[in-house]
């Protein structure tokens, strides 16, 4: 077991493509860390550097207390599950899972055919590990099948099984659920969480899906353009994003942003204005440009009385589009030139095209500096 740390790691492709820019990130032993960010932000590159498939241009990459920049991939004791995993089509599920182990532990042809006591013991050990992993992933009844006789989700689990049997120091997973349908994705997500709990192996998991990040990560590291924006527990990233990028990226539907300024101790967004809770540091920005942020679930239908409604926190908006999702409704609102999204209790029974009163939970307001986009709190 081991932790992994990026110390001032930069990766430049060609002359000037800075895929990863001065990354400092410490992943603790046994931790489940999720790297999340939009396409092209450097997630795969970061992962491939840990695996040794890509060389860092600058900085020190540590696994445990060893600097591994110059350690060849095969000696790093890492198992990687790629987005586009490939199974050997001519081999059974069993052989697919056992293949890497055999290659590693029954080195060379001699061992494979040997009937010595030592070879026998290794083979028994491999057999036990394959069966244990297959059981864990609920594919133990499929061991004799070939990949073409499996569903997509079963194949994905075989690919995971192949990584699990290795019992590596570190698991690297690059969007391993991307090929699964929505239901299987949620199911496998839960399986991976359980697997991590059972095996306790340091896992670094890459996704561009913020829901996956929030649900799976013990901590999540949000990246943008090769730069680490914030690394913390999911709740912290969600409730206290360090800047507008993180605030907008984590959370679905995304946080609403309104441009405006602080004027007379209030947020003034032109067509809409809100009070500011007493003592909030944004009050020191009087007269300055700020972005106001409020999450869709912190907006309420005023008539339901779910939060106190005052002149300070209410606004009038037109319900442009309403999506009824069963447990909640998503309402797309317009207020003058502003658009806002609200997640509402279906009891509101709103109708598209009508004008209604809404209220926000002022304590859940976010403010970002109008110039730097850094959170003011
Ligand atoms: N071999 C390469 N040569 C040149 N540029 C590359 C190479 N690999 C990646 N890049 C560039 O580096 C940046 C980061 O790529 P990377 O694959 O790490 O992104 P990512 O975050 O994994 O994105 P995605 O979510 O789309 O998989 C991108 O701008 C990409 O075009
Ligand atoms: Mg990628």
- Give pLDDT tens digits for 221-254: 999 999 999 999 999 999 999 999 999 999 999 9
Does the pLDDT of residue 108 top 70, yes or no? no
Tell me, what's the pLDDT at 101?
A: 87
Residue 94 and residue 149: Cα distance in Å, rounded?
Answer: 13
For residue 206, which atom of ligand 1 is closest to its CA?
22
Q: Which residue blocks in 180-299 are alpha helix, DSSP H? A: 182-199, 210-216, 234-239, 244-249
Tell me, what's the pLDDT at 86?
A: 81
| 305 Cα to the center of ligand 2, angstroms | 45
| 77 Cα to the center of ligand 2, angstroms | 22
Q: Would you say domain 4-247 falls under CATH 3.40.50.300?
A: yes
Paired strand residues for 319: 333
Length of the chain: 377
The pLDDT mean for the chain works out to 93
Paired strand residues for 292: 258, 367
Calculate the alpha carbon distances from 289 to 49, 258, 345 in Å.
Answer: 41, 11, 33
Nearest CA to ligand 1 atom 10: 19
Check pocket membership of 13 for ligand 1, CB cut-off 6 A: yes
Of 208 and 86, more confident: 208
For residue 20, which atom of ligand 1 is closest to its CA?
14
Backbone angles phi, psi at 371, to 5 degrees: -95, -50
Q: Where are the beta strands (DSSP E) in 189-301?
A: 202-207, 219-224, 227-232, 256-263, 266-268, 273-275, 289-294, 299-301
Using pLDDT thresholds of 50, 70 and 90, give the confidence band for residue 118: confident
CATH superfamily of 253-369: Nucleic acid-binding proteins (2.40.50.140)
Cβ neighbourhood burial of 63 (10 Å; 0-12, 13-18, 19+): buried
* Vertex 80: Cα angle to 221 and 102 (nearest 5): 160
Percent of the chain topping pLDDT 70: 97
Check pocket membership of 251 for ligand 1, CB cut-off 6 A: no
| 80 Cα to the center of ligand 2, angstroms | 13
For residue 226, which atom of ligand 1 is closest to its CA?
14
Asked whether 199 and 1 are in contact (CB, 8 A), the reply is no
From 9, 10, 19, 226, the mutation candidate for ligand 1 (largest count of ligand atoms within 8 A of CB) is 19
- Give pLDDT tens digits for 252-267: 999 999 999 999 999 9
- Extents of the domains making up the chain: 4-247, 253-369
Residue 182 and residue 215: Cα distance in Å, rounded?
Answer: 15
Nearest CA to ligand 1 atom 11: 19
Tell me, what's the pLDDT at 186?
A: 87
Coil, strand or helix at 309: coil
Residue 227 and residue 19: Cα distance in Å, rounded?
Answer: 9
Check pocket membership of 44 for ligand 1, CB cut-off 6 A: yes
Residue 314 and residue 300: Cα distance in Å, rounded?
Answer: 9
Check pocket membership of 55 for ligand 1, CB cut-off 6 A: no
DSSP type of residue 255: P
């Amino acid at each position: 077991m081991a932790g992994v740390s990026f110390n001032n790691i930069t990766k430049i492709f060609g002359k000037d493509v800075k895929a990863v820019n001065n990354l400092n990130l410490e992943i603790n032993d046994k931790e489940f860390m999720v790297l999340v960010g939009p396409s092209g932000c450097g997630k795969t590159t970061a992962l491939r550097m840990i695996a040794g498939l890509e060389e860092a241009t600058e900085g020190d990459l540590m696994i445990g207390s060893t600097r591994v920049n110059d350690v060849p991939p095969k000696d790093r004791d890492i198992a990687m599950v790629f987005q586009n995993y490939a199974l050997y089509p001519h081999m059974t599920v069993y052989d697919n899972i056992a293949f890497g182990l055999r290659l590693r532990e029954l080195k060379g042809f001699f061992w494979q055919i040997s009937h010595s006591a030592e070879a026998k013991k290794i083979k028994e050990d491999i057999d036990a590990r394959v069966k244990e992993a297959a059981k864990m992933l609920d594919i133990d009844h499929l061991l004799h099948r070939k990949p073409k006789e499996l569903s997509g989700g079963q194949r994905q689990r075989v690919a995971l099984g192949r990584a699990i049997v290795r019992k590596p120091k570190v698991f690297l997973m690059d969007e391993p659920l991307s090929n699964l349908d929505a239901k299987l994705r949620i199911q496998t997500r839960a399986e991976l969480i359980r697997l991590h709990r059972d095996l306790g192996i340091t896992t670094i998991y890459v996704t561009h899906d913020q829901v996956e990040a929030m649900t799976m990560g013990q901590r999540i590291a949000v990246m943008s353009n090769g730069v680490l924006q914030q690394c913390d527990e999911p709740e912290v990233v969600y409730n206290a994003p360090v800047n507008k990028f993180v605030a907008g990226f984590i959370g679905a539907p995304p946080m609403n942003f309104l441009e405006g300024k602080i004027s007379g101790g209030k947020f003034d967004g032109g067509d809409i204005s809100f009070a500011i809770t007493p003592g909030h540091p944004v009050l020191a920005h009087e007269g300055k440009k700020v972005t106001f942020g409020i999450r869709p679930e912190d907006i309420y239908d005023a008539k339901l009385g779910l939060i106190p409604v005052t002149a300070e926190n209410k606004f009038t908006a037109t319900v442009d589009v309403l999506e009824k999702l069963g447990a909640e409704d998503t309402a797309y609102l317009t207020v003058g030139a502003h658009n806002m999204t609200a997640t509402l209790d279906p009891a509101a029974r709103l109708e598209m095209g009508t004008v209604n009163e809404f209220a926000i939970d002022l304590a859940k307001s976010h403010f970002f500096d109008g110039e730097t986009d850094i959170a003011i709190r």
